């Protein structure tokens, strides 16, 4: 629908004259910019460029803390940004054991679990560069994937917290 000069409010006529286009083309341009903005922000929210560490639970007292070189046991649930779970030690009932900072696991874990207390629960959002990179780990982890891990530090050098057993429902 096309409007005449008399149908357009004064302010709109000024904008149209200065910008060189009609209200309908202006509306189309605004809609296009909003759509593009939405797509870009959706892409950005899924892509993580730096390691993000969220502490979900921390024991009242931190008796034992994880440091580089410590042997730690961690329960975890690994997900893609779309929510697809690709691995879970909770389901197996068997936490993973490794030397922190030695490169036995992905870099995001070596960095994201430093300083954690036994019993602490963290959510790690790991960019591809600190995970499986551009090659991924087919068929479960696509190349360039941001990974999300719900973790619980169970043990450091054979020492556990005085707290109770890990509950994966609290993650």
pLDDT at position 48: 86
pTM to 2 decimals?
Answer: 0.69
Q: Is the dihedral of CA 101, 134, 145, 96 positive or negative?
A: negative
Residue 30 has pLDDT above 60, yes or no: no
- pLDDT (0 to 100) of residue 46: 59
CA dihedral 107, 43, 52, 160 (to 10 degrees): -70
Which CATH number among 3.30.70.2740, 3.40.50.620, 3.40.50.1820, 3.10.50.40 corresponds to the domain 52-170?
A: 3.10.50.40
pLDDT band per the 50, 70, 90 thresholds, residue 22: low
List the domain boundaries for the chain: 10-46, 52-170
Per residue in 33-43, pLDDT (tens digit) is 444 443 333 34
**Mean pLDDT, residues 95-124 taken together:** 98
Q: How far is CA 10 from CA 4, 16, 27, in A?
A: 12, 10, 17
Enzyme catalytic residues: 76, 86-87, 106, 132, 149
Of residues 15 and 137, more confidently modeled: 137
């Amino acid at each position: 629908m096309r409007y005449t000069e008399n149908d357009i409010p004064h302010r709109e006529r000024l904008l149209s004259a200065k910008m060189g286009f009609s209200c309908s083309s202006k509306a189309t341009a605004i809609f296009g910019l909003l759509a593009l903005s939405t797509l870009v922000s959706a892409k950005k929210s899924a892509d993580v460029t730096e390691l993000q560490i969220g502490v979900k639970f921390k024991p009242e007292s931190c008796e034992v803390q994880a440091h580089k070189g410590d042997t730690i046991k961690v329960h975890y649930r690994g997900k893609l940004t779309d929510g697809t779970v690709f691995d879970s030690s909770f389901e197996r009932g068997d936490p993973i054991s490794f030397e922190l900072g030695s490169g036995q696991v992905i870099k995001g874990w070596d960095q994201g679990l430093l300083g954690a207390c036994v019993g602490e629960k963290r959510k790690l959002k790991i960019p591809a560069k600190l995970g499986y990179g551009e090659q991924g780990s087919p068929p479960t982890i696509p190349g360039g994937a941001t990974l999300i891990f719900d973790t619980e530090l169970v043990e450091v050098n054979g020492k556990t917290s005085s707290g109770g057993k890990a509950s994966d429902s609290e993650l």
